[in-house]
Amino acid sequence: MTRDRGAVSGCAGLLICPVCTEPLTAEGRTLRCPRGHAFDFAREGHVDLLPAGHGRSTLTGDTAEMLRARRRFLERGWFAPLARALEDCRAALADDVAPDHGRGLVLLEVGCGEGYFIGGLAASSNRTAGPDGDCCFGLDISRDALRMAARRHPGVLFFRNDVHYRICLRDGCVDLLLDIFAPRNPREFRRVLRPGGRVVVLEFSKPTNALIRGLYNFYFNQVMTRTAGWISGDATAYRYLSASVETFKTLEQMKADIESAGFSDVEVHPLTFGVAVIYVGFVNP
């Protein structure tokens, strides 16, 4: 059973105003801070916390066409094992951490897209965390993504944000933060995570082995884009992938970025000969 909008709005008190960073309070279908800045929930249930002048508000992010292609891809089950692993991570964290905010855990996915991963965690937490469940948040810069996500996953509070500018959540309130092939801001991740919390990042990497790297470049430039287009049913939706390869960091660079933001004991789990890597960073209790 999914939680209703009223239950989810109870989590809104963890949000902060994008203009003045004061706490936000839900008043009906509006979020309001003590200084009077107000932000209305959209009909679908998400809220825009990216006003002009407070981040890259003119960016549009993924289009509806790209998001529909991604949803078709995900619904074929290709990332189901990762989704189950994240559920296990959430369950283990619930056993390890004693939240002091009167609810279940606080979960956040950055760059949530159409909400596949955070929506799955919200459904899982409703089965295991008691009547109040967890507070689940998803942020993205794409309005199309937030509309799709909010329609599909009413148990998650979705909001528009620019992760490179500020995450509109209070300091030290998040238990588990996910970043799955999405933009990153490790220092903001560290700010919003509570002591004992953790961040899970999944990102492509540059293999160090010359042979593997050559195969990797051929795969991304010639195979992956076409295969993803065939699986999703949209031949054009993933053409940006080959160009993005040049921006990927090495495993060592990514690990250093996460550590420099204040995370300790960063775990590195290479996948498929280092083509993709899962990083898990911890905040000291």
Q: What is 23-86 written as a DSSP string?
A: BPEEETTEEE-TT--EEEBPTTS-EE---TTSS-TT---S-HHHHHHHHHHHHTTTTHHHHHHH
pLDDT for residue 94: 83
**Averaged in consecutive runs of 10 residues, what is the pLDDT profile of the chain (285 residues)?**
56 95 94 97 95 82 88 89 92 72 82 96 72 85 96 95 95 96 96 95 79 66 61 55 65 95 94 85 93
Domain 5-206+248-282: CATH superfamily, name plus number: Vaccinia Virus protein VP39 (3.40.50.150)
In terms of Cβ atoms closer than 10 Å to its own Cβ (0-12, 13-18, 19+), residue 152 is middle
Paired strand residues for 200: 178, 280
Judged by DSSP in three states, 101 sits in: coil
For 201, the token pair is: 């990042």
Q: Residues 6 or more apart from 70 whose CB is under 8 A from it?
A: 62, 113, 114, 232, 237
Alpha helices in the chain (DSSP H): 5-9, 64-75, 80-96, 116-128, 143-152, 186-192, 210-218, 225-232, 240-244, 251-260
pLDDT for residue 3: 47
CA distance linking residue 33 with residue 18, whole number of Å: 10
pTM: 0.85
CA distance linking residue 248 with residue 201, whole number of Å: 13
Element of type H or E holding 265: strand 264-271
In terms of Cβ atoms closer than 10 Å to its own Cβ (0-12, 13-18, 19+), residue 187 is exposed
CA distance linking residue 230 with residue 236, whole number of Å: 10
Cα atoms found within 13 Å of the Cα of residue 102, Cβ hemisphere only: 4
pLDDT for residue 187: 97
pLDDT for residue 233: 59
Contact 149, 113 (CB under 8 A): yes
pLDDT for residue 1: 35
Question: With the C-alpha atoms ordered 191, 193, 194, 196, is the resulting torsion angle positive or negative?
Answer: negative
pLDDT for residue 165: 92
Domain map of the chain by residue range? 5-206+248-282, 210-245
DSSP secondary structure letter of residue 219: I
Q: What is the residue whose two structure tokens read 């031949």? A: 235
In terms of Cβ atoms closer than 10 Å to its own Cβ (0-12, 13-18, 19+), residue 97 is middle
